[in-house]
Amino acid sequence: MTIRLNVIDLPKSDYTGGPTSLCAGCGHNQISNVVINAAWENGIKPHQIAKMSGIGCSSKTPAYFLGQAHGFNTVHGRMPSVSTGARMTNTDLKVLAVSGDGDSASIGIGQFIHAIRRNVNMVYIIENNGVYGLTKGQYSATVEKGSKKKKGLVNESQPIDMCKLAVNLGATFVARSFSGAKKQLTSLLKAALSHDGIAIIDVISPCVTFANNDESFRSYNYVKDNDTELHVYDYIPHFSPVEQVDIPAGEYEDIEMHDGSILRLETVGKGHDSSSPVAALTAIHEAEIDSKHVTGLLYYNAGQPSLSQSLNLSDTPLYQLSEEDMRPDEASLADILTNFRS
């Protein structure tokens, strides 16, 4: 038997993690498998990835993929600031963060907002099931009005839509997907890993234990029947010829990512323009009015400087810089002092 290797000659087994302890059928497990495939297919060195998470069933998942990567399981809702620090001290690291709707839309919402504002170089996956799974299924702030859990009352509060929020805040890559849409999610994640800035992927990920009845707007059956995909996808890594076409002949648009890879979009239906925040918000609002979920690359902006660029961070990780590299010379120090005095 021959073992398939990726572009940097590693087998997929180098990208797996420990066995999952989540419920069988949990959407989060499907996302972990997509992370393994996307990192392997993109040929990222596992030790150059920093897996970051907060607290929740979703935030436990980094233990189940990329066993050779660095990892930090922060306190609840604090993953974005720890990720910002990790990335600032080591620009060699690719930050791959996993959070939940409880972790990001409630206790951590301020952190979520500021990570977007700073355009932190990170992939930020929200595994969004509309409940706090880990603490036995209380409604979270993202659950739709009118949604019902297996046991309990109908939710009457307004939801926070994380993609709407992200687009309004100027996030540079905003996508929504479904844990059951493996092909779409893999392409989006591979593109997100090639983006140099914050890439938000809000993934509807059913909690089979507390919210998988048909009255829940985030159950498998509901999402399968009410998911409108904006595009058909193909992702062409920077190391493959761009002519490669998986999408059947027809009209498509190529979006070039920062590392030179291409996200090829064949637009389905309305001809969504991913470069327009107005189109993104319209698509989300229209789906919301019809109690549907719209999935795909909602918004993409390659022109905004990332945190590393705006702070002019060194390409060399901090731990590799000598004291001499880091100490300002006499003239710069005098300039700084003059600024303080004026």
| Of 56-64, 85-93, 169-177, 196-204: span binding ligand TPP (CB under 6 A) | 56-64
Of the residues 42, 58, 212, 261, which one makes contact with ligand TPP according to CB under 6 A: 58
Helix orientation angle between 277-289 and 162-169, rounded to the nearest 10 degrees: 160
Give the torsion through C-alpha atoms of 245, 250, 253, 256, to 10 deg. 10
Q: What are phi and psi of 22, to 5 degrees?
A: -80, 170
| Of 47-55, 152-160, 207-215, 288-296: span binding ligand SF4 (CB under 6 A) | 207-215
Largest CA distance in the chain: 72
Residue 61 Cβ, how far from Mg ion at the closest point, in Å? 12
Other C-beta atoms closer than 10 Å to the C-beta of 298 total 27
Position 80 contacts ligand TPP (CB under 6 A):
no
Nearer to ligand SF4, 21 or 244 (CB): 21
Of the residues 10, 26, 199, 279, which one makes contact with ligand SF4 according to CB under 6 A: 26
Question: How long a stretch of residues is the chain?
Answer: 342
Choosing among ligand SF4, ligand TPP, Mg ion, none, which partner's interface includes residue 76 (Cβ < 5 to 8 Å by kind)? ligand TPP
User: Do the Cβ atoms of 40 and 71 come closer than 8 Å?
Assistant: no
Choosing among ligand TPP, ligand SF4, Mg ion, none, which partner's interface includes residue 210 (Cβ < 5 to 8 Å by kind)? ligand SF4
Residue 109 Cβ, how far from ligand TPP at the closest point, in Å? 11
Three-class HEC string of 78-140: CHHHHHHHHHHHCCCCEEEEEEEHHHHHHHCHHHHHHHHHHCCCEEEEEEECCEECCCCCEEC
Taking phi over 0 as left and psi of -120 to 50 as alpha, with beta for the rest, 99 belongs to beta
| Of 97-105, 171-179, 262-270, 320-328: span binding ligand TPP (CB under 6 A) | 97-105
The two tokens of residue 134 are 């880990």
Choosing among ligand SF4, ligand TPP, Mg ion, none, which partner's interface includes residue 144 (Cβ < 5 to 8 Å by kind)? none
Over the window 88 to 127, marking each residue x when it contacts Mg ion by CB under 5 A and - when it does not, the resulting string is: ------------xxx-------------------------
Window 135 to 154, contacts with ligand TPP (CB under 6 A): 135, 140
Other C-beta atoms closer than 10 Å to the C-beta of 216 total 25
Q: Residues interacting with ligand TPP, by CB under 6 A?
A: 55-58, 76, 100-103, 127, 129, 131-135, 140
